[in-house]
Amino acid sequence: MAMGPWSYVLLLSSTALIVGVFIQRKLNELPELATKADQEYDYIIIGGGSAGCVLANRLSEDFSKKILLLEAGHDDRNHPTVSIPARAFESAHSEIDWDYYTVPQKHALKAFKNQTGWWHRGKILGGTSNVNEMIYTRGLPKDYDSWNIQGWTFQDVLPYFLKSEDNENADFVKTGFHKMGGPLKVGRSKTHSLTNFLVRAGKEMGYKIIDINSQWSEGFVEVQSTLRKGIRQSASRAFLYPVLYRKNLDVLTDSLATQIVFNGKRAVGVKFERNGTLTTVRAKQEVLLSAGTVGSAQLLLLSGIGPKEHLEKLKIPVVADLPVGDNLQDRMTYEFPIAIKPAISITQEKLESFWEQVKYKLVGKGMLASPNGVEVVAFTNSVTNSEKDWPDLQLQFKGMLHGESYGNMLGLSNETLSEISARRAFKEGMACFSSGLRPRSRGSLRLLNTDPRSQPLIDPNYLAYEEDVEVILTGVKLCKKLLDMPSMKQIEAVYAEGPTTACSGFLSGSDDYWRCMIRGRAQPVFSPVGTCRMGDVKQADTVVDPELRVKGLKALRVVDSSVIPSIISGATNIPTIMIAERAADLIKRNKVADS
């Protein structure tokens, strides 16, 4: 007998429910996390983000060593929606978001409330790899070669990228720049038809379609992402879940490290707070700090490692006078909104629709499997770039048109929110984001007070150099040029906003108008690096040596994005995983970290 439409709907719903229950049951079958710490471990890892999860996996391979991983946030298994790619920003301003804000910016964020910028950082096991856009980019070879640090050239670090990777594309693997079999699953999610139009438009503009994680550096890129079968592949899922059964590994969530304990110049333990109780645990071999660009710098300062004058002002006993918190870098991006006619973009209504829900739960496909709408990016050169084989500009194409809710999440001013409300007139659209890859501007991080629960003073000093504005301006012009391509005309793509009040003193569409708009509306990219700079121990501006050991101290390393000397061309999650892979090898070779 033929199945009626409602019977078919019921069958799909039931099947989707069963699949969802099965997936959650598999998560529940994983071992429970620790509820308390032992008195002593060989290695204590502070921070269960991307780097911390890698370290926990690799160091616990030696069953003779006891490892403790401390994470301030919750167990991510209790937050199953983070695994759904299109829901990347639903964690914004929640209990699993550190919800950092910069101090008011002098040169940027003029269209934001109080001229402050919001930083979305994951306060959850897996860290920001559980809330980011999942883009798999390593950075460009020249990024690493320019550091001029022994052991950290691109050829030195490429094996560590490959060690982690499990790429589903056999053709990519044949090139030698990718690998199968690692813990981190990498794939593609082609969930909206806009991708095809964007790729064709890139060709019409004269660009090649490239794999940015290979020998090519300029062109349009069909994004590779840390996802598989529609599920986010966070660092916790990739590196931690498979080893939770190890008896020599304890993972404590909801545990905020408050201080590194020293005996003279040697790190001997960590103080942390859990459920209102302060505990001290000892480290027999090393303390490994992997709390991120903000968290690692903050904890070092709280522990007496940082600029002497700043520490003395807060009456913190000085353990080491080092430039912790200096060299802070982050990129900015400007959103160029585009309206289109065909119903092929991602909208909130579609994401919440019955069919998209069923499609995702049944086969892990559809719009909910999209890496937050980002499926195409481009790397190219600005007018200010003198090194044409080292692009300094990225365009990121997102298959959705953002409105007031997105702007409100970012912290745009009420006046600006009112202006972007005009986008409501368009039901379908996308965004072209223009981002400078290597900004010259440098900022700093300092403590507000000695309370480890207080947010530090974060000052990225955005757009302090005019050159940083000019790079983004080049990208805006390319976004405009994109609209003239035949493939974009086919979908009737047009700029989705009119002139703004804030920049009304300039001719709409002129270079000065866009410069004004960039200083007003360009937003943080959430890829901060540099506060615990790696480099030669003889350099006054470095915090850790090339083996990531804190200068002048023993048994303490920093292993995360904070050690990156100059920002990577692209997202920082994958470089952070690489740093941890290399650090694990360094730690295994050297039993005690002495610099």
Q: Which residues are annotated as a binding site for FAD?
A: 128
Sign of CA dihedral 281, 100, 447, 551: positive
Inter-CA distances, 318 with 260, 271, 309, 321, Å: 13, 17, 9, 7
Give binding residues as ranges. Answer: 128
CA distance 252 to 36: 7
- String of b and e for 10-36 (b: at least 16 CB within 10 Å)? eebeeebeebeeeeeeeeeeeeebbee
CA distance 239 to 129: 12
CA distance 474 to 382: 6
CB atoms within 10 A of CB 306: 30
Contacts of 361 (CB under 8 A, 6+ apart): 16, 17, 19, 20
Distance of CA 546 to the CA centre of its chain: 23
* Nearest Cα to Cα of residue 202 among 220, 224, 221: 220
Question: Is residue 310 within 8 Å of 444, Cβ to Cβ?
Answer: no
CA distance 574 to 439: 20
Residues in the chain: 595
CA distance 192 to 366: 8
Question: Is residue 38 within 8 Å of 380, Cβ to Cβ?
Answer: no
- 512 φ/ψ sector (left φ>0, alpha ψ -120 to 50, else beta): alpha
Burial (0-12, 13-18, 19+ Cβ within 10 Å), 453? exposed
Inter-CA distances, 282 with 52, 264, 266, Å: 18, 15, 12
